[in-house]
């Protein structure tokens, strides 16, 4: 049997970026689904295309890791910068998250007047810029060399930012902005939920800055759907689509990889499947135990897709913040992405819309089919009604081909019911899994390992892992 250099399990952001950086090697990549990209894939239904989860492409700018990786892969994506990254609608307020700082400040001062708004948002922007200018970010465990390199990287972080960045975000907000209104707090928390999967209550100042500052970067719309990025990143890769890996057996200097179609042998193996699902792939007790130590994150997503029969021009992204919690969710807000009118593929049958909010995987488990459908409809209807209330020109009958996805749907298609990484805090930093495992030649990549979710977070992990594999 042929011995591959590298076998990658999963075509999510992590697996695909890593594969594209290693084109010259003998790489084989397995994807269980027919669509590439996992949480960021694009699927076809009713003759129309929809983004399954991720819709915003961030980090494609000079000196940023995401662009570095795409440049190395010699791939220039077909993207369009969104003039307004996100239009936030909160009761009677409209707040445009735009890249231009002064323009944004006008918006925030109008919505939430506070004499220290400039100081607060300036600090957020500066911390974020300094973080992304760091050249030597590293995090790995399980060897003395890795611990020393990680400590060194941590010291550089401390030296550049001082201990202040590990202070609690909550106290930082209070210190700079004073007592803020419930609405202002809900605005900040809703923005953080999109990027960090959590609110300001249990994160550090650094996480707060990275979470809030992302619309100060260029935010792009991807023509042809987010999934098209993966089709192109993996163009020259030996790709085994619709092939699920069922078992991995550790041999002396290699791994035997068993799929539902065939068997393969590889020196190195990178798992892009969620870390919470890795133990079941192994019979080796030590490896199983290693993966079982990472406790399942219950965080998940509820996503609605539909077409909009409408000739109006919309922004690409909106966030609606309500004053009550959405049923079967852990949020009062939802995120809307609307395909560009000129995107021939995505807007072929009316505009393609993806709406998402935060839910828990456990909400959808241990209920019978009837109850599951009932709860799904309750959540879908609640969100659609709130959507229609905020877009008065859209009528209910303009919405066609509607479908919703829960944690169960994600599990069925991409083998994970949790969605989104965990925010890194000072108290959990050592519990965060690194790409490197204690087993030679076995690695993980993606948003359930360092550094976190979305294009920028996953790309940090890819850069570190690529160095790890290639020296
Ligand atoms: C609703 C939602 C909205 C989001 N919005 C954004 C956004 O706008 N911008 C952004 O940057 N990020 C966004 N994110 C976050 C981002 O999508 C994820 O962090 C990222 O896509 C995760 O990538 P990953 O590398 O962990 O791989 P995953 O997306 O987890 O993909 C893993 C892949 O592995 C495959 N796989 C699993 N097990 C096997 C197996 N045994 N054999 C073969 N294949 C297997 C799966 O089918 C899947 O394709 C969003 C996430 C969600 C859920």
59 touches ligand 1 (CB under 6 Å): no
**Is the pLDDT score of 426 beyond 70?**
no
Are 80 and 339 within 8 A, CB to CB?
Answer: no
Find the 61 Cα to ligand 1 centroid distance in Å. Answer: 22
Asked whether the bond before 451 is cis by omega within 30 degrees of 0, the reply is yes
pLDDT at 161 over 90: no
Is 13 close to ligand 1, i.e. is its CB under 6 Å away? yes
Name the residue at shortest CA distance from atom 12 of ligand 1.
454
Alpha helices, H only, 391-429:
407-414
Average pLDDT estimate for 193-217? 90
pLDDT at 16: 98
- Closest ligand 1 atom to residue 30 Cα is 43
Tokens 């735009």, located at residue: 98
Confidence of residue 105 (pLDDT cuts 50, 70, 90): very high
* More confidently predicted of 255 and 154: 255
Instruction: Give mean pLDDT, residues 87-110.
Output: 97
Domain boundaries of the chain, sorted by first residue: 3-44+60-73+226-295+423-470
DSSP assigned state of 242: T
Mutation pick for ligand 1 pocket among 12, 214, 280 (CB with most ligand atoms within 8 Å)? 12
- CA quadruple 311, 316, 322, 328: dihedral positive or negative? positive
Neighbours of 100 (CB within 10 A): 10
How many whole angstroms separate alpha carbon 39 and alpha carbon 54? Answer: 6
pLDDT for 157 beyond 70: yes
Other beta carbons within 10 angstroms of residue 431's beta carbon come to 12
Q: What share of the chain is helix, strand, coil (3-state, %, to 5)?
A: 40, 25, 35
302 by DSSP, 3-state: which? strand
Express each pLDDT in 163-194 by its tens digit.
677 788 999 999 999 999 999 999 999 999 99
- Residue 419 beta carbon below 6 angstroms from any ligand 1 atom: yes
**Under a CB-based contact definition with an 8 Å cutoff, are residues 140 and 435 in contact?**
yes
C-alpha of residue 15 to centroid of ligand 1, in Å: 10
Tell how far the Cα of 182 is from the centroid of ligand 1, in angstroms: 33
What are the pLDDT digits (tens) for 369-378? 999 999 999 9
Q: Report CA Rg, the chain.
A: 22
CB of 452 closer than 6 A to ligand 1?
Answer: no
Mean pLDDT, residues 244-273: 98
CB 440 within 8 A of CB 452: no
12 within ligand 1 shell (Cβ under 6 A): yes
Question: Does 255 score more than 80 pLDDT?
Answer: yes
Average per-residue pLDDT for the chain: 94
Asked whether the predicted pLDDT for residue 421 surpasses 70, the reply is: no
For ligand 1, whether the C-beta of 53 sits within 6 Å is yes
Q: How far apart are CA 390 and CA 92, in angstroms?
A: 10
Residue 316 Cα distances to 103, 167, 183, 358, angstroms: 19, 34, 24, 20
Q: How far apart are CA 106 and CA 103, in angstroms?
A: 5
Model pLDDT, residue 158:
80
**For residue 398, is pLDDT > 80?**
yes
pLDDT of 53 higher than 80: yes
Selected from 3.40.630.30, 3.20.20.450, 3.50.50.60, 2.60.200.20, the CATH number assigned to the domain covering 3-44+60-73+226-295+423-470 reads 3.50.50.60
Confidence of residue 425 (pLDDT cuts 50, 70, 90): low
d(CA 431, CA 429): 5
- Tens digits of per-residue pLDDT, 325-362? 999 999 999 999 999 999 999 999 999 999 999 999 99
Tell me how far apart the alpha carbons of residues 443 and 330 are, in angstroms, rounded to a whole number: 32
Task: Provide φ and ψ at 222, rounded to 5°.
Answer: -100, 115
Pocket test for ligand 1, best of 214, 416, 454, 457 (most atoms within 8 A of CB): 454
Report the share of the chain in percent with pLDDT over 70: 98
**Which whole number is the average pLDDT over 390-417?**
97
**Res. 226: pLDDT tops 70:** yes
Check: CB of residue 116 under 8 Å from CB of residue 122: no
């Amino acid at each position: 049997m042929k011995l591959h250099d590298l076998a990658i399990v999963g075509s999510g952001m992590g697996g695909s970026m890593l594969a594209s950086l290693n084109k010259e090697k003998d790489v084989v990549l397995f994807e269980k689904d027919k669509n590439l990209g996992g949480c960021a894939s694009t699927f076809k239904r009713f003759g129309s295309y929809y983004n399954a989860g991720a819709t915003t492409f961030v980090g494609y700018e000079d000196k940023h890791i995401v662009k570095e990786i795409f440049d190395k892969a010699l791939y220039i994506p077909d993207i369009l910068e969104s003039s307004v990254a996100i239009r936030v609608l909160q009761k009677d307020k409209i707040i445009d998250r735009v890249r231009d700082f002064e323009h944004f400040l006008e918006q925030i001062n109008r919505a939430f007047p506070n004499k220290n708004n400039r100081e607060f948002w300036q600090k957020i922007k500066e911390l974020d810029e300094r973080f992304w200018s760091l050249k030597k970010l590293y995090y790995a465990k399980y060897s003395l060399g890795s611990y020393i390199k990680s400590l060194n990287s941590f010291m550089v972080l401390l030296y550049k930012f001082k201990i202040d960045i590990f202070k609690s975000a909550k106290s930082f907000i209070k210190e700079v902005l004073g007592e803020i209104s419930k609405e202002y707090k809900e605005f900040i928390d809703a923005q953080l939920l999109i990027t960090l999967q959590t609110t300001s209550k249990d994160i550090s100042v650094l996480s707060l800055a990275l979470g809030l500052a992302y619309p100060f970067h260029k935010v792009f719309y991807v023509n042809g759907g987010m999934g098209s990025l993966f089709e192109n990143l993996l163009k020259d890769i030996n790709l085994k689509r619709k092939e699920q890996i069922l078992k991995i057996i550790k041999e002396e200097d290699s791994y035997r990889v068993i799929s539902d179609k065939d068997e393969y042998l590889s020196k190195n193996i990178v798992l892009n499947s969620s870390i919470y699902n890795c133990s079941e792939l192994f019979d080796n007790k030590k490896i199983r135990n290693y993966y079982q130590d990472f406790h399942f994150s219950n965080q998940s997503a509820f996503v609605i897709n539909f077409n909009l029969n409408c000739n109006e021009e919309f922004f690409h992204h909106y966030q609606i913040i309500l004053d009550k919690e959405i049923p079967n969710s852990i949020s009062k807000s939802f995120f809307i992405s609307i395909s560009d009118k000129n995107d021939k593929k995505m807007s072929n049958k009316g505009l393609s819309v993806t709406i998402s909010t935060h839910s828990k995987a456990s909400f959808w488990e241990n209920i019978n089919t009837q109850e599951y459908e009932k709860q799904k409809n309750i959540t879908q209807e609640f969100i659609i009604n709130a959507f229609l209330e905020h877009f008065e020109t859209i009528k209910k009958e303009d919405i066609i081909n509607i479908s919703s996805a829960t944690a169960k749907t994600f599990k069925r298609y991409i083998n994970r019911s949790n969605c989104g990484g965990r925010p890194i805090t000072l108290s959990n930093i050592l519990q965060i899994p690194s790409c490197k495992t204690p087993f030679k030649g076995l690695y993980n990549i993606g948003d359930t390992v360092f550094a976190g979710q979305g294009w920028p977070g996953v790309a940090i992990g890819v850069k570190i892992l690529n160095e790890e594999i290639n020296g």
